[in-house]
Amino acid sequence: MQRYLATPEATDQFGAELWSLLPAQAVVFLQGDLGAGKTTLVRAYLRAAGFVGAVKSPTYTLVEEYLVNDRKIVHFDLYRLAEPEELEWIGIRDYFNQECVCFIEWPDKGEGFLPLPDYVITLSAEGSGRLLDMS
């Protein structure tokens, strides 16, 4: 599926669609350059789920966990990961053995320690908006 997101509101709308599309357990790789909208998309997903608190990028913490309407959502940002082995220290495999949706930014940094994704979403700047490709 490919879609052009012309405005921030279009990104929010797609996040809401994701909320109804994704099962309670899924691994979603988020790909795109810095500033492509990966965290914005996760924020839109969480808002559609009913989360009202702050949604920050886990760039420095590597992981942020949310519990929304009895559904667990985990957001990883592996951009600052020095070595993939660091994922063992945070117990990453435990997340994949439970019912939760795991969004993983910069999945290439965790190669060898991540399962195969259920979905891959790639965001890229195009004109004044973003091109979204989901497979």
pLDDT of residue 125: 86
Asked if the structure places residue 35 within a domain, the reply is yes
pTM over 0.85: yes
CA torsion sign, 82 to 84 to 86 to 90?
positive
Q: Shortest CA distance to 18 belongs to which of 32, 6, 30, 34?
A: 30
Print the domain residue range for 107.
22-130
Nearest-angstrom CA–CA distance, 64 and 31: 18
CATH at residue 117: 3.40.50.300
Nearest-angstrom CA–CA distance, 50 and 119: 22
What's the structural domain count of the chain?
1
Q: What are 102's two structure tokens?
A: 């795991």
Q: Shortest CA distance to 27 belongs to which of 110, 86, 88, 90?
A: 110
pLDDT of residue 27: 97
Asked if the structure places residue 12 within a domain, the reply is no
The tens digit of pLDDT for each residue in 31-90 reads: 998 888 899 999 999 999 999 988 877 776 789 999 998 999 999 999 988 888 889 888
pLDDT of residue 37: 86
Asked if the structure places residue 90 within a domain, the reply is yes
pLDDT of residue 14: 95
- Write the secondary structure of the chain as one string of H (helix), E (strand) and C (coil): CEEEECCHHHHHHHHHHHHHHCCCCEEEEEECCCCCCHHHHHHHHHHHHCCCCCCCCCCCCCEEEEEECCEEEEEEECCCCCCCCHHHHCCHHHHHCCCCEEEEECHHHHCCCCCCCCEEEEEEEECCEEEEEEC
